[in-house]
Structure 1
């Protein structure tokens, strides 16, 4: 019975972390817009730097490389973690799970290599 809770708690915790990250990103943008409205209502001019922060931030040229390296390293870590267990079933499962971030990392590395040419 208790073993059934392990994947349930794992997926719920991932959803909570992603949800909190999205919420705090929304909250930051909302507070910046409220600050801009208050400044405009008082008659202040907004600086170009502040207006640039209000827009969507452009990704840095190396963001695909960074994401690719992080996803690939995560995949390698998952695969190595799976190989620590002597049971072949667990090794196969962990290598299968590691395949997803590995392929995402390879895709990001490919986008970095061939994207801006």
Structure 2
């Protein structure tokens, strides 16, 4: 099972640690694309490192982002948004999440951090 990832504003860190990924709690910060409310009833997830980089570069949250690893979800459980992005149609509890990168500035990819 591949490890999936979620990119979000650092302002959501404490909420995610407490409640997990829950689109109904959106409000501490804008969505990664700059939206003020949920775009879908679910949580956007990246299926490969290129998507993680794309969401980091897309960052319209007004500050740095965190990257969370998501365990226990199969790619086949994901749906596609109208814009073509993968999302899980449910909440993801904190026990499935690991903060793997924090305070990533806008325009800074994971590949850049790895020295690639």
Question: TM-score scaled to structure 2, two decimals?
Answer: 0.24
Which protein is richer in helix relative to its size?
1
Which protein is richer in strand relative to its size?
2
The structure, 1 or 2, with the larger RCO (C-alpha pairs under 8 Å, 6+ apart) is: 2
The structure with the larger Rg is 1
